[in-house]
Chain A
Amino acid sequence: MVCQGKMKKLSWKIWLLLIILVLSLLSIFGMPPTFLKKGVVITSIDANSTAFEQGLRQGQIINFIDGNKISTIEDFSNALKDKFKLNESVKTIIQTNKVEVILFSKQAPEITVSGIQKTNIKTGLDLAGGSRALIQAQGEKLSAAQINDLVDVISNRLNVYGIADMNIRPVSDMTGNHFILIEIAGATPKDIEELISKQGKFEAKIGNETVFIGGEEDISSVCRNDATCAGIEGCYDSENGAFCNFRFVIYLSEDAAKKHAEITDKLEVNTTAQGKYLSEKLDLYLDDNLVDSLLIGEGLKGRVTTQIQISGSGTGSDRETAYDDAEKSMHQLQTVLITGSLPYKLEIVKLDTISPVLGKDFINSIFLAGITALLAVAIIIFIRYRKIKSSLALLFTSISEIIIILGIASFIEWNLDLPSIAGILATIGTGIDQQIIIMDEANQSKFLSIKQRLKRAFTIILGAYFTAVVALLPLLWAGAGLLKGFAITTIIGITAGVLITRPAFMDMVKRIED
């Protein structure tokens, strides 16, 4: 044949496939490959903690603690296990790939870690664990602008509360409903529901008059994480268990302080057994529920005071749970005092909290499923064609396709969730189908040149491609985007198929046939 010399060389289509394959592998494993890195990676860190202030961040890799090498999660927990038993302040030196920090604390640093990901592939919440909430304004249809404001307020609130690793964004669905989607990676904060759905309308009233409300307009700062002006005062047993009181100081703005002076000026002084107090109390309301009533000392009458002490309590079946409850309530109250209330009443329409533990087994099983399925395909293909070269080429192409999809997914940082994985499996299925069409067309109508035969195969494949793409499009908008992953991975996969792998496979078949 004339073109024999040419055919010895790999065609540009095969080269293109090989180059894309290498790029995909680089995108999946990174350079240098992540599986060569040693240490544990920080998955979450309390944004209010000293460790955070010192420069530890989520995503950093811890290599040493107190000079001991940390390679696994066991190393990490062993390094910290016995240090904090005595409830004394101890020194901890943590060395990460970015910073070295020295902490003095009574408790272990508030960070969670995990082993280093072997790849750059990001898994969705349903596999990696975390929480996801879809919220909607109650009884109101909000405009896109209103939704964006709400997103700002909520993310501010979560930040102030100390949640660092989150993703919050507006989403809408086919029927024009607007939602806010909140995704928090890693462990789920216990009070997530209250944090995101409580309006957090805080009001301090004397009689019927509002003195100040939550938010920066009236409150210039709130004391937290400082035992001198915030903390649990004491715990007491009660009939139904126990309760603990908390208190913390807030600083009012000039205007709010003046208002306080005006209102208290009008009050009378009552003398009681406990001392001299004003005739009305300062009532604290959270979302229209009375949280606490504070007696106002005689000395505050008519005085412009910026410093106010807020108090409240937590209850529980025993002192320990009451303590936790009080701490939680204090933290929540501090958060809404800083961030102010949400402009609308919200409703959680979907809330998923996924344990990170089960997801790990999941991924292994999915791999097993994929390999079994591919083996099954290989067997049929070999039985049908009895051509080892073509069958291997077919398998190679299908595996390349998986690698390319994963490569693109890690490149665009797409989180692979279960629908996405179903999409990958679907793509491989249709991919193999189309390769079978190519193999069969190549073996048919021998009076046509191989090029013409393959061109025919490609028209069938293009037809199948377009029907598949248009069938997937509606899914991008249905269901507030929660099933988008399926459409995205499938469209990536079949497009890569038509543009890259299928033409390359045709050239491979051409080489083998010639």
Chain B
Amino acid sequence: MQEETKNKFADWHDKNYKLLFLIPLTLLLFSLVYLGIFYYKNNDFIYKDISLTGGTSATISGEIDINNLEQFLSGKLEDVNTRKIYDLLTREQKAVIIETKSSAEETKQILEDYLGYELNSENSSFEFTGSALSESFYKQLLIAILFAFIFMAIVVFIIFRTFIPSLAVIMSVVADIIMTLALVNLLGIKMSSAGIIAFLMLIGYSVDTDILLTTRILKRQEGSLNERIFKAFQTGMTMTLTSLLAIVFAFIVVKSFSVVLSQIFLILSIGLCFDIINTWVTNVSILKWYVKEK
């Protein structure tokens, strides 16, 4: 019974894999157009948070009413954003995070005015980054990603030594990055330096399954092409699903307390979902095409 459905699916896939390729292609084109418009409008690829634009992030312990606070701060501080930190189990509020483009001194002064007590290193944390520095951070991180990508591509070429399959691996990584970036922007997420690191991690995670797939298809002889793809799919899906589940669980936990980690996990989970499409549709379609043409 199972064999039969497998065979049926294989037949269907043989007929339609080129057509299937249109799904990621459309998604990719849509993402590119969206990112193009986004760049035209915002003069940048992402919405940046204060770690990339410069500004202050203040964390104040205690149960502070976040709505009142935000109302008080708006107009007094530039670009204010507030967030709660809470205990995961008891849901008890532990602290608030205030992010603003204003300087640390100014932010501290205004917060002290509102709270009516002095903020010291026991009850608060302040993180200030100058705008020139964060701008240079941003540039360097983009360069780091670019280099990471180029190095990765070189290694892929060295491993497979064939043009089209290597290109397919690289293309599916590119597609992962672009689709994830588009969705992150679509959701209006303000990206931090940690968020950019998440893209770096994404390169690592997504290339793993692609290497697995390409090795199994090109360097193995046993079984039919479809069998090899299916086996690789079984392994690869287990890999991606375990990673995805672990990341989603970790995301739920860290969401309560760490902005940095939760952004990394959120971006990774989005990226891994796209990776399923890009490895098992994009990369598989190109490889199948390549093997059949040969």
Binding site for B on A (CB under 8 A): 129, 131, 134, 136, 173-175, 177, 187-188, 190, 347-358, 361-362, 365-366, 368-370, 372-377, 380-381, 384, 418-419, 421-422, 425-426, 428-430, 432-434, 436-437, 440, 444-445, 447, 456, 459-460, 463-464, 466-468, 470-475, 477-480, 482-483, 486
Q: How far is the CB of B127 from chain A (nearest CB, A)?
A: 4
Quick check: is B45 within 8 A (CB to CB) of the other chain?
A: no
The residues in B between 44 and 80 inclusive whose CB is less than 8 angstroms from any CB of A are 59, 61
Find chain B residues with CB under 8 A from A349 CB: 129-130, 132-133
The residues in B between 235 and 294 inclusive whose CB is less than 8 angstroms from any CB of A are 235, 238-239, 241-243, 245-250, 252-254, 256-258, 260-261, 264
Q: How far is the CB of B98 from chain A (nearest CB, A)?
A: 14
Known: A349-B130, A365-B258, A429-B247. 17 other contacts (CB 8 A): A134-B133, A348-B130, A351-B104, A353-B125, A354-B121, A376-B248, A380-B238, A380-B242, A422-B201, A433-B209, A463-B215, A464-B212, A468-B204, A472-B200, A474-B143, A475-B144, A480-B137
Does B136 contact A177, Cβ atoms closer than 8 Å? yes
Chain B residue with Cβ nearest A352: B127
Interface centre among B145, B201, B203, B234 (most CB of A within 10 A): B201
Does B151 contact A463, Cβ atoms closer than 8 Å? no
A-B pairs, top 6 by smallest CB distance, nearest first, are A470-B151, A474-B144, A369-B253, A373-B246, A471-B148, A478-B140
- With A377-B242, A384-B238 known as contacts, the answer to whether A426 contacts B250 (CB < 8 A) is no
**How far is A475 from B205 in the complex, measured between Cα atoms in Å?**
17
Does B194 contact A175, Cβ atoms closer than 8 Å? no
Does A365 contact B254, Cβ atoms closer than 8 Å? yes
The secondary-structure label for the interface of chain A is helix
Does B121 contact A380, Cβ atoms closer than 8 Å? no
Residue in contact with B261 in the complex, picked from A131, A375, A421, CB distance below 8 Å: A421
**How far is A238 from B200 in the complex, measured between Cα atoms in Å?**
60
| Chain A-chain B contacts (Cβ-Cβ < 8 Å), number | 233
Residue in contact with A460 in the complex, picked from B129, B145, B211, CB distance below 8 Å: B211
Does A479 contact B246, Cβ atoms closer than 8 Å? no
- With A354-B125, A418-B261, A479-B137 known as contacts, the answer to whether A429 contacts B243 (CB < 8 A) is yes
Quick check: is B154 within 8 A (CB to CB) of the other chain?
A: yes
Find chain B residues with CB under 8 A from A477 CB: 140, 144
Does A350 contact B238, Cβ atoms closer than 8 Å? no
B187-210, CB under 8 A of A: which get 1 and which 0?
000000110010011011101110
B141-170, CB under 8 A of A: which get 1 and which 0?
101110111011011100100000000000
- With A358-B95, A459-B215, A471-B203 known as contacts, the answer to whether A440 contacts B234 (CB < 8 A) is yes
Does A188 contact B121, Cβ atoms closer than 8 Å? yes
Residue in contact with A372 in the complex, picked from B120, B144, B145, B253, CB distance below 8 Å: B253
Quick check: is B126 within 8 A (CB to CB) of the other chain?
A: yes
**How far is A474 from B145 in the complex, measured between Cα atoms in Å?**
8
Residue in contact with A436 in the complex, picked from B144, B238, B258, CB distance below 8 Å: B238
Chain B residue with Cβ nearest A418: B260
**How far is A353 from B94 in the complex, measured between Cα atoms in Å?**
18
Quick check: is B16 within 8 A (CB to CB) of the other chain?
A: no
Does B155 contact A357, Cβ atoms closer than 8 Å? no
Find chain A residues with CB under 8 A from B144 CB: 174, 474-475, 477-478
Quick check: is B124 within 8 A (CB to CB) of the other chain?
A: yes
Does A376 contact B245, Cβ atoms closer than 8 Å? yes
Find chain A residues with CB under 8 A from B220 CB: 445, 456
Does A418 contact B258, Cβ atoms closer than 8 Å? yes
Residue in contact with B61 in the complex, picked from A177, A347, A357, A434, CB distance below 8 Å: A357
**How far is A368 from B261 in the complex, measured between Cα atoms in Å?**
13
Quick check: is B128 within 8 A (CB to CB) of the other chain?
A: yes
- With A362-B257, A478-B143 known as contacts, the answer to whether A436 contacts B239 (CB < 8 A) is yes
Does B212 contact A368, Cβ atoms closer than 8 Å? no
Residue in contact with A376 in the complex, picked from B85, B152, B246, B264, CB distance below 8 Å: B246
Find chain A residues with CB under 8 A from B104 CB: 351
Q: How far is the CB of A385 from chain B (nearest CB, A)?
A: 9
Residue in contact with A358 in the complex, picked from B125, B126, B132, B204, CB distance below 8 Å: B125
- With A349-B130, A463-B215 known as contacts, the answer to whether A355 contacts B124 (CB < 8 A) is yes
Does B121 contact A436, Cβ atoms closer than 8 Å? no
Quick check: is B110 within 8 A (CB to CB) of the other chain?
A: no
Chain A residue with Cβ nearest B221: A445
- What are 27 residue pairs bridging A and B, where the CB atoms are less than 8 Å apart in the complex? A129-B121, A348-B128, A351-B104, A355-B59, A355-B124, A358-B85, A362-B258, A369-B249, A369-B261, A372-B252, A377-B246, A381-B242, A422-B260, A430-B204, A433-B205, A433-B209, A433-B239, A433-B242, A440-B238, A445-B220, A447-B222, A463-B215, A473-B151, A478-B141, A479-B137, A483-B193, A483-B197
**How far is A350 from B155 in the complex, measured between Cα atoms in Å?**
36
Chain B residue with Cβ nearest A448: B222
- With A351-B128, A384-B238, A433-B242 known as contacts, the answer to whether A422 contacts B133 (CB < 8 A) is no
